[in-house]
């Protein structure tokens, strides 16, 4: 399945930009993706014609805005194959979704002596909240280790899923190694012991098809801005029975049913978890992004990214002093992190920028993982639906030049 790449590229106005005289080559998609004009237009026309606050007014544009917001929720339900709108909560993004679970589920369900199982490839957003909860409760964090190829080492999974384990929280795709984890198998192993599983899908939702009923995860978190949508909105999916038993995360407007001076009762799902004015136009943008992705097809997107990452890894082997991290291309989403011997990752990124090429340099919010790899920082190139082999060639040429400059 090949994508109509020129047609797709035409949808992204920013790709026409020149940077220091060069065409923009945007290879930092794992940090955040660019936006097609379908998303920009949907938000613009919503603000121009239909904008008002939602769930409150009885006048025409308030009803239109509410309808637009709720139809975005329906688009998410379909995109991830949730059972109903009651299972889809809008948040500000992956980080907030995970923190919602920490506060609204964790506070009630994690006690002193309990264990929370994570993996060694977690982003800080799926590590720090659990550190905070564990500290507060006197619970313990445990980690599924990674092997030398950057895969999860599942040999000890059975032991790590102990009678004390109350939650397994893990990433679906690593933002640093690129590894796509075998989540269905791991969830089945956790469920066999009655342990719920939270998936951080920040790097999965933009790139692979998601069916929450098939994989049977209990919680799933992702962000709109990495999947062609706007910033400021994301999703927490959770099974309805779990959400029903959780207390609200934030208190305020819209999450209540009745309020007395001394106490309140909670709104039905999903409103119970959506306090305050929501990111309304952003929901409209997210819906347009989902429609855009669906019009191409998630399988086709994944195949395209795999072919780019395979080609990039082949070509990176040509560059003297490059060391790559993570598994073979077939087991990855579309990203590759590497170092260039003797050159600090920030210098690599700065020189690539002189050629209009955007990559991320640093610890990618996985400091403990970097330390485990013996690194402080790495360079990461990450791809999306609009990237091409020609862009990979430009990136490799610029990298070869960088290696040459620093060798002199
Ligand atoms: N990773 C990256 O460059 P937010 O910021 O809430 O939208 O997403 C946080 C997050 C959580 N989990 C994973 C696996 C992620 O990759 C990210 C965001 C970006 O890799 C920014 S640090």
pLDDT tens, position by position, 1-16: 689 999 999 999 999 9
CA of 223 to the centre of ligand 1 (A): 8
Decide which of 294, 326, 349 is a domain's last residue.
Answer: 294
**Within this chain, do residues 161 and 67 fall inside the same structural domain, yes or no?**
yes
Report whether pLDDT(334) > 90.
yes
Is the whole model's pTM more than 0.85, yes or no?
A: yes
- Binding pocket residue ranges, ligand 1, CB within 6 Å: 30-31, 93-95, 123, 125-126, 171, 175, 200, 202-203, 223, 360, 364-365
CATH of the domain at 170: 3.40.640.10
Q: How far apart are CA 10 and CA 101, in angstroms?
A: 39
Given a contact cutoff of 8 angstroms between Cβ atoms, the answer to whether 399 and 319 are in contact is yes
CA of 339 to the centre of ligand 1 (A): 21
Q: Please check whether residue 133 lies inside any domain of the structure.
A: yes
**Within this chain, do residues 178 and 160 fall inside the same structural domain, yes or no?**
yes
Closest CA to 307 of 398, 397, 392: 392
Given a contact cutoff of 8 angstroms between Cβ atoms, the answer to whether 33 and 386 are in contact is no
**Within this chain, do residues 76 and 151 fall inside the same structural domain, yes or no?**
yes
Helix (H, G, I), strand (E, B) or coil at 377: coil
Positive or negative, the CA dihedral 218, 160, 165, 234 is negative
Percent above pLDDT 90 for the chain: 97
**Within this chain, do residues 253 and 138 fall inside the same structural domain, yes or no?**
yes
Closest CA to 322 of 376, 380, 259, 408: 380
Q: Please check whether residue 175 lies inside any domain of the structure.
A: yes
Q: Please check whether residue 147 lies inside any domain of the structure.
A: yes
DSSP string, 180-207: B--HHHHHHHHHTTT--EEEE-TTTTTT
**Within this chain, do residues 263 and 142 fall inside the same structural domain, yes or no?**
yes
Q: How far apart are CA 284 and CA 323, in angstroms?
A: 42
Q: What average pLDDT does the segment 215-229 reach?
A: 99
Percent above pLDDT 70 for the chain: 100
**Within this chain, do residues 397 and 336 fall inside the same structural domain, yes or no?**
yes
Quick one: 321 exposed, middle or buried, by C-beta within 10 A (0-12, 13-18, 19+)?
middle
CA distance from start to end of the chain: 44
**Within this chain, do residues 368 and 290 fall inside the same structural domain, yes or no?**
no
* pLDDT at res. 1: 66
- Token duo for residue 185: 């198998």
Q: Please check whether residue 39 lies inside any domain of the structure.
A: no
Closest CA to 336 of 353, 317, 354: 317
Q: Please check whether residue 253 lies inside any domain of the structure.
A: yes
Helix (H, G, I), strand (E, B) or coil at 163: coil
- Token duo for residue 400: 């070869």
Report whether pLDDT(407) > 90.
no
CATH of the domain at 365: 3.90.1150.10
**Within this chain, do residues 304 and 277 fall inside the same structural domain, yes or no?**
no
Q: Please check whether residue 44 lies inside any domain of the structure.
A: no
Split at pLDDT 50, 70, 90, the class of 35 is: very high
Q: Give the residue numbers spanning the domain of 290.
A: 50-294
Mean pLDDT, the chain, integer? 97
Which residue's CA is minimally distant from atom 3 of ligand 1? 31
Q: Go through 36-52 and write b for each residue having 16 or more CB atoms within 10 A of its CB, e for each that does not.
A: bebbbebbeebeeebbe
CA of 176 to the centre of ligand 1 (A): 10
Q: How far apart are CA 248 and CA 195, in angstroms?
A: 22
Closest CA to 30 of 223, 243, 211: 223
pLDDT in tens, 115-164: 999 999 999 999 999 999 999 999 999 999 999 999 999 999 999 999 99
Q: Please check whether residue 117 lies inside any domain of the structure.
A: yes
Q: What average pLDDT does the segment 42-46 reach?
A: 98
Report whether pLDDT(236) > 80.
yes
């Amino acid at each position: 399945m090949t994508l109509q790449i020129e047609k797709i590229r035409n949808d992204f106005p920013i790709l026409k930009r020149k940077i220091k005289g060069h065409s923009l080559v945007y290879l930092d998609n794992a940090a955040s993706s660019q936006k097609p004009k379908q998303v920009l237009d949907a938000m613009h026309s919503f603000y121009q014609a239909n904008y008002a606050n939602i769930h409150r007014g009885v006048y025409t544009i308030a009803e239109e805005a509410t309808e637009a917001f709720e139809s975005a929720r329906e688009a998410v339900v379909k995109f991830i194959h949730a059972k109903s709108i009651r299972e889809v909560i809008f948040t500000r993004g992956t980080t907030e979704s995970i923190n919602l679970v920490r506060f609204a589920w964790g506070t009630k369900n994690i006690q002193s002596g309990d264990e929370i199982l994570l993996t060694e490839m977690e982003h800080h957003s799926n590590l720090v909240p659990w550190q905070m909860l564990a500290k507060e409760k006197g619970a313990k964090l445990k980690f599924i280790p990674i092997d030398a190829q950057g895969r999860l080492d599942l040999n000890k999974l059975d032991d790590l899923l102990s009678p004390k384990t109350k939650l397994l929280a893990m990433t679906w795709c690593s933002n640093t190694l690129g590894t796509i984890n075998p989540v269905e198998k791991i969830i089945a192993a956790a469920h066999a012991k009655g342990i719920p599983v939270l998936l951080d899908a920040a790097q999965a939702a933009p790139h692979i098809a998601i069916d929450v009923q098939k994989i049977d995860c209990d919680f799933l978190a992702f962000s709109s801005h990495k999947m062609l949508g706007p910033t400021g909105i994301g999703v927490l999916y959770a099974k309805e029975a779990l959400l029903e038993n959780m207390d609200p995360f934030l208190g305020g407007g819209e999450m209540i049913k009745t309020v007395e001076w001394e106490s309140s009762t909670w709104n039905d799902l999903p409103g119970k978890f959506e306090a305050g004015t929501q990111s309304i136009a952003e929901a409209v943008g997210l819906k347009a992004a989902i429609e855009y992705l669906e019009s191409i097809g998630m399988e086709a997107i994944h195949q395209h990214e795999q072919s780019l990452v395979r080609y990039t890894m082949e070509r990176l082997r040509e560059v003297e002093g490059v060391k790559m991290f993570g598994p073979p291309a077939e087991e990855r989403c579309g990203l590759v992190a590497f170092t260039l011997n003797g050159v600090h990752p920030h210098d690599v990124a700065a020189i690539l920028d002189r050629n209009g090429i955007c990559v991320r340099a640093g610890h990618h919010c996985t400091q403990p993982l970097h330390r485990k790899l013996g690194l402080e920082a790495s360079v990461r190139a990450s791809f999306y639906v609009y990237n091409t082999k020609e862009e990979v060639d430009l990136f490799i040429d610029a990298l070869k030049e960088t290696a040459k400059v620093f060798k002199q």
